[in-house]
Structure 1
Amino acid sequence: MRPILRWVLAAFYAAAGYFHIAAPRGFLTIMPGWVPYPEAVVLWTGIAELLGAAGLIQPWSPRLRMAAGIGLALYALCVWPANINHFGMDLAREDGGMGLANHVPRMIAQPLIIWLALWVSGATNWPLRPKS
C-alpha cells in the first residue's frame, strides 16, 4: 500500500507544483499579507512541490526519498497559514464563500498530508509498525 500511496501523493504534489507555476493567481489571492515577495514564494513553492514529488518516486535512493518526504511534510506545515488565511477570508465573504464543507475537511486533511508524506517516504512507520 505504501508504494501506491507514495505515487498518489507524488502525483498530487506534482499537479500542485505545476499549477503554482502555470497559474499562480489563485495562490496569490490566499497568501497572508505578511508574506514578503508573494510571487516569488508561489513560484518557489511550486518548484519545491515538483522536486519533492520527484524525490518521492525516484527508485535509487531510500535516503533521498526520505528527505523528500520530510521536506514535503515541512512544506505542508509551512503553507498551513495560507490555508487558514483562505478559510477566514472565504468565510468572511458576504455569500459565505465555499463554506465549511470545503474548509473543515481541508483543515483536517493538512495534518494527514503531513503524516502521509513522512509515512510513504519511510521517515516514520508510526502508527503502522510492522508486525514482529
Structure 2
Amino acid sequence: MSRSERSPLLLAGLLATAGVAHFVSPRQFDALVPRSLPGSPRTWTRASGVAELALAAGLALPRTRRTAALAAAAFFVGVFPANVKMAVDWRHRPTPQKAAALGRLPLQVPLVLWARGVARNAEGGS
C-alpha cells in the first residue's frame, strides 16, 4: 500500500477514534462546547462524534473519499472555536495542560491541509 493510499485511511482512523471518544468520554468534550451554541453541550458532543464517524466512513470508501475529505477539512475549521475555548478555559491550569490546549490550536492547520490533500488525490469523487 502506497503512502497516498494510506493517508486517507490514517485520517479516517484518526476521525473514527475521535468520534468514538465523544461517546466513551463525553464530559471532556462537553466542556469544549462554546456557550454561545444553543442547546445542551452533550447534544453538540454527540453530533460532532457522529459527524467524525460519518467522515471516517466516507474517507474509507474510495467512491466517497473526495467529498468526505472536503467535508473533513470544513469540519476541522468548524471545530476550531472549541479549541480556542479550551485554550482560554485552561489558561490558568498547570503548564503541561496549558501547553496541550495551546498546542491544539496550530494543529488544526495540518489537519485541514491533510484533508485537502486527500481530496486532491482522490480518484473521481462523488
Alignment correspondent of 2:15: 13
Deviation at 1:122, TM superposition (A): 2.5
- Normalization by structure 1: what TM-score? 0.81
Question: Which residue does 1:99 correspond to in 2?
Answer: 98
Cα offset for 1:97?
6.0
- The two structures, once aligned, show a CA RMSD in angstroms of 1.8
1:25-67 Cα distance to aligned partner (Å, 9 max, x none): 00011211111222111111111100101111113x1xx2111
Corresponding residue number in structure 2 for 1:24: 26
| Alpha-carbon offset, residue 4 of structure 1 | 1.3
Provide TM-score, normalisation by structure 2: 0.85
How many Å separate the matches in 2 of 1:30 and 1:40? 12
- List alignment gaps of at least 5 residues for structure 2: none
What is the aligned partner in structure 2 of residue 82 from structure 1?
82
Q: Secondary structure in 2 aligned to 1:30?
A: coil
Cα shift at 1:96: 4.5
Q: Which of 109, 117, 120 is matched with 1:119 structurally?
A: 117
Name the counterpart of 1:46: 49
After TM superposition, the runs of 4+ consecutive aligned structure 1 residues lying more than 6 A away are none
* Structure 1: stretches of 5+ with no match in the other structure: 125-132
Distance in 2, matches of 1:89 and 1:97, equals: 14
The one-letter code sitting in structure 2 at the alignment partner of 1:42 is T
| Residue number among 6, 17, 20 corresponding to 1:4 in the alignment | 6
The answer to whether the aligner puts 1:108 opposite 2:106 as a matched pair is yes
* Number of matched pairs: 119
Structure of higher CA gyration radius: 1
